[in-house]
Structure 1
Amino acid sequence: MKANAVLSDPASAVHYNTTRIGDVDVFYREAGAKDAPVLLLLHGFPTSSNMFRNLIPRLAGSFHVVAPDYPGYGFSGMPDRKEFPYTFENMTNIVEQLTLKLGLDKYSLYVMDYGAPIGYRLAIRHPEKVRGLVIQNGNAYEEGLLEFWDPIKQYWGEATHENRAALEYLTKPDATKWQYHNGVADTSLLDPTTWTLDQAGMDRPGNADIQLDMLYDYRTNVPLYPQFQKFFREYQPPALIVWGKKDYIFPAEGAAPYKRDLPNVETHLLDTGHFALETHGEEIASRIKDFFGQQRG
């Protein structure tokens, strides 16, 4: 091998950064050329930008990829609940401020789980900035809120101590591991560091209450679904759905209604569960590159 041989593509190198937004330290992963099309990766519960750790280098040759951790998740700060209300509106504010700080004037959104309402809230604030959507097990229709959500809906309707306590199991190790395993045929494909890292975050003192606050505040997303759907209809962003069809949390019934408002959406239902990137990461990366390559072609 020649001494000056190129061992890797510099564009695929992932940078791990932290910036201050208000009183919160916000961690984000970034890769790709700064003049490439921007893809903003928005994670779900109970994870962080770590869920995109394998996807980012696969896309960095085609996109400027940015993946933040929300406050209370991953490596971002965890301000006190009394000083920083843990709401989807506040999470959207943080992501919006990050895009402004990084000068991201146009971007496509990869939305998953909690990342969907955060991304769609951002989209209805700035529809002119959204160039496209990648939707992975992220809901915008009431058809997608099925059995898993029944005890959460009960808490939305009656915010009692008993109804809140009934959801505490979702912050425990068994439930975290279950989110990765459920619906997966070959669990040997799953990296145990994923749920271990997620659980370490939730085991920090006070974090379980943050997660219950977020579950309660999810109720504020449902009345916004018509606004999200109006954005889809009026702006028709190019949209790619890559959805784990065996997800019990956000089942495939939530994927189908997108076609009502986005008739040209490209849909792929994958034979896996909630965290589809863990088992189908290569396929998802290839579909994203092909899809947006066609849009530019």
Structure 2
Amino acid sequence: MAYAVHHRTAVLDDLEVFYREAGNPRAPAVVLLHGFPTSSHMFRHLIPALSDHYRVIAPDHIGFGQSAMPGLDEFPYTFNALTEITSELLDHLGVDRFAMYVHDYGAPIGWRLALRDPQRVTAIVTQNGNAYTDGFVKPFWEGLFAYARTPGPETEAPVRRALTAEVTRWQYLNGVADPTLVSPDNWVHDQALLDRPGNDEIQLKLFRDYPTNVDLYPAVHQYFRESRVPLLAVWGANDEIFGPDGARAFQRDLPEAEVHLVESGHFALESHFDVITQHIRDFLGRVIS
């Protein structure tokens, strides 16, 4: 039985944090962590699909979706800061242990949560969420790392393209064999939020902080080796942001990690919802008691 999805807001550190929640509060928790440039909206179908067996929680990161969007002088907009708010939300909701689904930006937030308290994480599903540089597709990332190294007008101009409607649409459609399977509501919704006054500066600040995620990778790999956390990598094989080598790399430190590639792109959940959901249900059903 699928549960109704509730749309809620918690106030943490004087900031409104929006989250979607469904399922029995006593069931094992699954936390869904979205990427750029979207929000918990990307999980609107997955939440009810998992709610029959799990308590599913999907927050919007600060600066995204329906959560607060304070200015740069009010919030630091680093991945550490986004992790802190996520951890506070889980504490607020009484979630002691949880599995997590991470995508794109959600991955470095999830890795930080795991490094803070390895025993808290019961399992990981990563969908185009890297923990290795293997999967970085160079044309997309070269501009971002150049901007992070030397921020300025010349390096900023190329990365600002990532905030345009053209690139937002591309993120949803790149690598998708049948683009008619992907609703245009996705990029229209995301772009409206990106276009809010001041949001561009927020996204640029996070771009500049992104190398801290790569710096964290050795510690994440050690966490994998020591914890042997159950991990499922289900991946859009044609993603031109995080390529399939990023999925295969998990087996380097977690030999028993399960890797499934689907013929899709960065937002594979949009075109391969049924396939990915079945992989997740099978995986969680085996690894979470």
Tell me by how many angstroms 1:152 deviates: 0.9
Tell me by how many angstroms 1:37 deviates: 0.9
1:116 is aligned to 2:107: yes
The correspondence for 1:100, drawn from 91, 94, 103, is: 91
Please give the alpha-carbon distance, in whole angstroms, between the structure 1 residues aligned to 2:215 and 2:31.
Answer: 24
Please give the alpha-carbon distance, in whole angstroms, between the structure 2 residues aligned to 1:204 and 1:104.
Answer: 32
Please give the alpha-carbon distance, in whole angstroms, between the structure 2 residues aligned to 1:166 and 1:287.
Answer: 37
The correspondence for 1:196, drawn from 188, 191, 195, is: 188
Q: Could you say which residue in structure 2 is the equivalent of 1:68? A: 59
Q: Could you say which residue in structure 2 is the equivalent of 1:3? A: none
1:150 is aligned to 2:132: no
* CA distances 1:58-113 after superposition (whole Å, capped 9, x unpaired): 10001100000001100001001111011101100010000000000000010000
Checking the alignment, whether the CA contact within 8 Å between 1:26 and 1:71 is kept in structure 2 is: yes
Checking the alignment, whether the CA contact within 8 Å between 2:50 and 2:281 is kept in structure 1 is: yes
The correspondence for 1:177, drawn from 156, 169, 173, is: 169
Change (3 A) 1:118 1:296: closer
Checking the alignment, whether the CA contact within 8 Å between 2:23 and 2:53 is kept in structure 1 is: yes
The correspondence for 2:124, drawn from 101, 116, 133, is: 133
Q: Could you say which residue in structure 2 is the equivalent of 1:6? A: none
Structure 2: 5+ residue stretches without partners: none
One-letter code of the match for 1:169? R
Return the TM-score normalized by structure 2: 0.98
Please give the alpha-carbon distance, in whole angstroms, between the structure 1 residues aligned to 2:151 and 2:288.
Answer: 48
- Where do residues 263-282 of structure 1 align in structure 2 (5 Å cutoff)? 263-282=255-274
Tell me by how many angstroms 1:156 deviates: 2.0
Please give the alpha-carbon distance, in whole angstroms, between the structure 2 residues aligned to 1:295 and 1:80.
Answer: 41
- Where do residues 1-297 of structure 1 align in structure 2 (5 Å cutoff)? 9=1, 11-147=2-138, 148-296=140-288
One-letter code of the match for 1:70? H
One-letter code of the match for 1:221? N
Please give the alpha-carbon distance, in whole angstroms, between the structure 2 residues aligned to 1:295 and 1:179.
Answer: 32
Tell me by how many angstroms 1:296 deviates: 4.3
What SS class does the counterpart of residue 248 from structure 2 fall into?
coil
Tell me by how many angstroms 1:283 deviates: 1.2
What SS class does the counterpart of residue 199 from structure 1 fall into?
helix
Please give the alpha-carbon distance, in whole angstroms, between the structure 2 residues aligned to 1:65 and 1:143.
Answer: 30
Question: Which structure has the larger Rg?
Answer: 1
Checking the alignment, whether the CA contact within 8 Å between 2:130 and 2:246 is kept in structure 1 is: yes
Please give the alpha-carbon distance, in whole angstroms, between the structure 2 residues aligned to 1:288 and 1:139.
Answer: 18
Please give the alpha-carbon distance, in whole angstroms, between the structure 2 residues aligned to 1:157 and 1:22.
Answer: 31
Please give the alpha-carbon distance, in whole angstroms, between the structure 2 residues aligned to 1:86 and 1:23.
Answer: 15
Please give the alpha-carbon distance, in whole angstroms, between the structure 2 residues aligned to 1:14 and 1:33.
Answer: 11
Greater shift, 283-292 or 16-25, is seen at: 283-292
Please give the alpha-carbon distance, in whole angstroms, between the structure 2 residues aligned to 1:214 and 1:121.
Answer: 16
Return the TM-score normalized by structure 1: 0.95
Tell me by how many angstroms 1:35 deviates: 1.0
Q: Runs of at least 4 residues of structure 1 off by over 6 A?
A: none
Checking the alignment, whether the CA contact within 8 Å between 2:131 and 2:220 is kept in structure 1 is: yes
Tell me by how many angstroms 1:161 deviates: 2.5
Checking the alignment, whether the CA contact within 8 Å between 1:62 and 1:289 is kept in structure 2 is: no
Percent of aligned pairs with the same amino acid: 50
Q: How many residues align?
A: 288
Change (3 A) 1:19 1:296: closer
What SS class does the counterpart of residue 149 from structure 1 fall into?
helix
Tell me by how many angstroms 1:289 deviates: 1.1
What SS class does the counterpart of residue 41 from structure 1 fall into?
strand
What SS class does the counterpart of residue 167 from structure 1 fall into?
helix
Tell me by how many angstroms 1:287 deviates: 1.1
